Homo-oligomer: A and B are copies of this chain.
Amino acid sequence: MVQLYVFGHPFETDAVVQSVSETAGNPPIGTIATTHGFSFTHTLEAQDVVYGLGEANRGINKRGFRYVNHCSDTPSHTEDLSSLYAAHNFIVLSGTNHIGLFFDYPTTITFDIGYTQQDTLSVTCDSANLKLYVIQGASAYDVVKEFRSLIGPSYIPPKFAFGFGQSRWGYKTRKDFERVVQEHRKHHIPLDMVYMDIDYMEDYKDFTVNSEEFPDFPAFVQEMREQGVHLVPIIDAGVKIEKGYPVYEEGVQKGYFCKREDGSDFEAAVWPGLTHFPDVLNPEVRQWFGNWYRVLVDAGIDGFWNDMNEPAIFYSPEGLAQVKTSMERYLADSTGALSHHSVLDALNRLSNSSEDYQRFYHKVQGEWVRHDRVHNLFGYNMTRAAGEALAQLAPDRRILLFSRSSYIGMHRYGGVWTGDNMSWWSHILLNIKMMPSLNMCGFLYCGADLGGFGCNTTRDLLLRWLAFGVFTPLMRNHSALGTREQEFYQFENPQDFRHIISVRYRLIPYLYSEFMKAALGNDLYFKPLSFLYPNDPLACEVEDQLMIGNEVMVAPVYQQNATGRYVYLPEEMLFVKFCPDGTLTQTVLPAGVHHVSVALNEVPLFIRQGHTIPLAQPCETVADLSTQPLECIGYSGATYTLYDDDGMCRSCTLEGHTTILIKE
């Protein structure tokens, strides 16, 4: 049951697709105050679990922290970080009752979930203009499915996007890209995508390509495709200010950029230097900006990642002027009253500053809306611009699309990656914990930068992370400029990496089938164990194992120097290991806790009692994946309903695309 409570005059976010009539009075739980901004307060029982928040820090159970949903370009995801790139304002309180709460509110909102006071949930924001959707269900899982149907179907990528993709900030030349493909093919490491980070562009200008390196870009794209590889370029939010650059010229001429209070186009420095931000909250601008993707689609590109769309701001001219003033004051100070910290503080405030977010405006239905009042909708609408346009440009096929910043509603237009993580073991665990939470908020096509984006990876970290990445729909190795090179062929024994990636490809029939069932059925691809075993208290507490679809449980190893790990089985399961020699070990383990040994070059998974999953033969691209015949592994006599399609159709349904397989 969904109830809608409306406070004040909410901004229309288009997060929800179902029409829900407003309920009068007070929500069934919580105390609401609207005198100073908005607050929702509720006392939690000791055993209540709080799920949700999508891309957020900390656990699957979100209790014990204060989350500030404010889309932020913050690369060092330490435990105390309260804001990440996304704002997914949906939580589920699960205890005696199961209640979902979606705070449809377009800017900064704080979820204090037992942080200030251990038993108190408090959700607060500055303005009492919002919609609150309250969903009651028989279980947390029920509530989530109801919410998912409220917000509409999740984005479905082309099937090739279930292959492996290699990326690095720093690939610049044609040779850089060619080498990646050559090395993967030479080592027979499967590969479907190579990502193009910012250096493929001409001076970081969106929808341009460095013509010195790529004099005939369509031919290069085609050449890569002939080697089975899709190039996936990045698109940034800021449009470079440069005379003669048509995106800039046209945007200025048509008044499509965000404006200062005085009506001039707001300027923000990002990678290209000074840029303007397209006013993607305006449908006309969305259509215009989205149509620019055609430049690359026409060149043969069939996948994009949208970045820097919180939007990230390195500095504004106004902010920089303040910094200069602080330097002048400091240098002129002969009294010693000012310290160099006055300058350092000014410099540290320069990026992504709240002052800058108050300096520009969007035009929404003829009204000017200051950016800080709708901040969390920017990345969503940039990706919506692309998604809507690509549906027009390529009506007969899916285009790969994912974004760094997002808000619920964007899940209909693209996937997400979890942004600039680090080569930390704890970030494998964070990756594990984020996945089901993202799924709950509608984001099914998701994954983290495997091996870690920032700082230096190690071979063992990368191998362990990949063994989980095998199961994330978006499987990408990505790293930052200046860090250790982390392509697989940079390490000893690349065959270990080949093996793990090969296992991914063998599992694609299952992973794709489960993904599609989740997408078409408003269901979850990743589930916490509690969703399937709600009456098992030990299962309900597990945060480092996940259910994938209905058949598989994963329990990744995420501790350095561990030769295995403890795993909790809520029921008997078949423990399967994919060994580097191509064989499988299969052991039935009874319910309970077990220590399982897993070598660095093995991929473990668990199949639930009475279930079976399909397994393809190894191959090097998704296009080469043969589904006839599929091997089945699991329990004898068990059946599996396989979903499959051409990997491209935009209007697929479960009907007519499923086959029942039986494990002999």
Contacts and interface: CB of A to CB of B under 8 A. Distances in A.
23 contacts: A49-B561, A63-B560, A64-B461, A78-B78, A78-B422, A79-B425, A80-B423, A80-B456, A115-B458, A117-B492, A118-B458, A118-B460, A315-B340, A320-B340, A327-B327, A328-B331, A331-B331, A347-B347, A426-B426, A537-B563, A538-B595, A541-B562, A543-B559
* Chain B CB within 10 A, most for which of A79, A119, A331, A461: A79
Interface string A553-578: 00000011111001010000000000
Given A118-B458, A538-B595, 4 more contacts: A118-B492, A327-B327, A340-B350, A543-B561
A458 B331 contact: no
A119 B460 CA distance: 11
Given A63-B560, A561-B64, A426 B79 contact: yes
A320 B336 CA distance: 13
A29 interface: no
Nearest to A336: B273
A63 B425 CA distance: 13
B560 A64 contact: yes
Given A58-B560, A315-B340, A340-B320, A458 B64 contact: yes
Contact of A340 (B118, B347, B566): B347
B324 A63 contact: no
Nearest to A562: B541
A350 B343 CA distance: 13
Contacts of A455: 80
A222 to B, nearest CB: 39
A613 B458 CA distance: 43
A61 interface: yes
Contacts of A350: 340
A118 B78 contact: no
A330 interface: yes
A59 interface: yes
Nearest to A559: B543
Contacts of A227: none
A361 interface: no
A90 B97 CA distance: 56
Interface in A424-464: 424-426, 455-456, 458-461
A65 interface: yes
Contact of A422 (B65, B80, B114): B80
